[in-house]
Structure 1
């Protein structure tokens, strides 16, 4: 690389660092859109990015995880094999046969579940499943469970700055799993800012433009 080319590359890197610092503002709080790993905004974005397991609550009674299909179970004592999401209707039909009985699900263990953090677990008995359900309830009570009433319209861009080594970067997030991974892996030395405006869907309605953290948190608080 020629000397002129090297100087040009160095200049571009300097512009990136300065631009990110201006966007983020290293001193968290000076810029209201600057966030650390433990800020309220980070918690909200992390919860929006969590895996939503509420679609199969009919069989597992917990929104923090879902059961991998196919799965064999008994609904009110009647043996079924659930091959796909549409088969949940078979369970609902059995549950609707009576309005005075206690509806129960018994899985043919082991089963595999998808957790709120996108990991998978093998569950070998009902006791372990009950423990996960209890943990899910605690997450919900503590306002740490998935936020499902707001969906981001991807991609979004994030300006990230590491205070420890003065390194700046621009990160593109393309889905919920990447958003959860980003917010979960932030170190104490990192601060970031969402590159607004972004668009969100509230309760699967029309897209709404968000211009800053304050507006994002307000929309979250309204819907939850």
Structure 2
């Protein structure tokens, strides 16, 4: 009987210690937790926001892009846009007509079907001249993140493989869910330099230092 009681007590202590370890992993007082409304969360979102300015010569909107492939009439001749490099073959002096329908990807990675110039103009007018996207730095994937539900004490791990997944992950932050990145993670600067990050303060500093250092595509 004493042996069974001893085993039960050890088991309870072990379970309690595991729960405490889970809490410590992303405790709000620890540096690696990212509050929903923090400056870091906002900057991370702006890094992974969809930048649609690379095809502005065609669609005149920096907050969305046209999904490839699609057709144009350029100076009266058919032109198929199969890849991003094809935009380099176009000039501001060309007469460019989009062949509808097209599908566009918005800043938040949602997609819309556009049937004519009138519909496209609505989206053009929604775009800001100075968009929020940070073009000088990129996340290198895969990245592992953790969430801890403060109500259910449930700890989960998620692997992010693309900017769209990171954007959705950040956008779904909840006050009841503690979120943290599993460091180290790596970033790629616009000059090709790779930077390895070990904690939140390093990530905040890396993004902040280059947030306005370049403007790759916007017109």
CA distance in 1 between counterparts of 2:89 and 2:57 reads 11
Select 2:26's aligned residue among 17, 21, 24: 24
Deviation of 1:208 after TM superposition, in Å, equals 0.6
Task: State the match for 2:169 in structure 1.
Answer: 182
Q: Is contact 1:149-1:203 (8 Å) kept? A: yes
Task: Tell me if the contact between 1:20 and 1:159 (Cα under 8 Å) persists in the aligned partners.
Answer: no
Specify every segment of 5 or more residues in structure 2 that has no aligned partner in the other structure, as ranges. 1-6, 213-219
Does residue 216 (structure 1) correspond to residue 203 (structure 2)? The answer is yes
Q: Which runs of 5+ in 1 are unaligned?
A: 96-100
Question: What is the CA deviation profile of residues 68-109 of structure 1, one whole-angstrom value per residue up to 9, with x for unaligned ones?
Answer: 23323344x4333223124323323xx3xxxxx6x6533222
Deviates further, 45-54 or 118-127: 45-54
TM-score by length of 1: 0.76
Q: Which residue of 2 aligns with 1:112?
A: 103
Encode CA deviations 1:102-132: one digit per residue, 9 max, x unaligned. x653322221112222222111222322222
Aligned mates of 1:34, 1:127 — CA distance in 2: 45
Query: Are 1:171 and 2:173 counterparts?
Result: no
Q: Following the alignment from structure 2 to structure 1, what is the Cα–Cα distance between the partners of residues 81 and 15?
A: 54
Q: Distance in 1 between matches of 2:140 and 2:207?
A: 15
Deviation at 1:181, TM superposition (A): 1.7
Alignment correspondent of 1:78: 76
Contact 2:72–2:81 (Cα < 8 Å) also in 1: no
- Deviation string 1:159-213 (CA, Å, 9 cap, x unpaired) is 2111122211222222222211211122221111212221100115121111222
Are the aligned partners of 1:158 and 1:192 in contact in 2 as well (CA < 8 Å)? yes
User: Do the aligned partners of 1:69 and 1:82 also contact (CA within 8 Å) in 2?
Assistant: no
The corresponding residue for 1:98 is none
**Alignment partners' CA distance in 2, 1:128 and 1:205:** 38
Contact 1:33 1:213 in 2 (8 A): yes
Question: Paired residues, what number?
Answer: 202
C-alpha distance in structure 2 between counterparts of 1:133 and 1:211, whole Å: 40
Partner of 2:35: 36
- Quick check: 1:157–1:170 contact (8 Å CA) kept in 2? yes
1:157 aligns with 2:159: no
With the length of structure 2 as denominator, give the TM-score of the two structures: 0.77
CA contact (8 A) 1:46 1:183 kept: yes
Matches of 2:14 and 2:122, distance apart in 1: 55
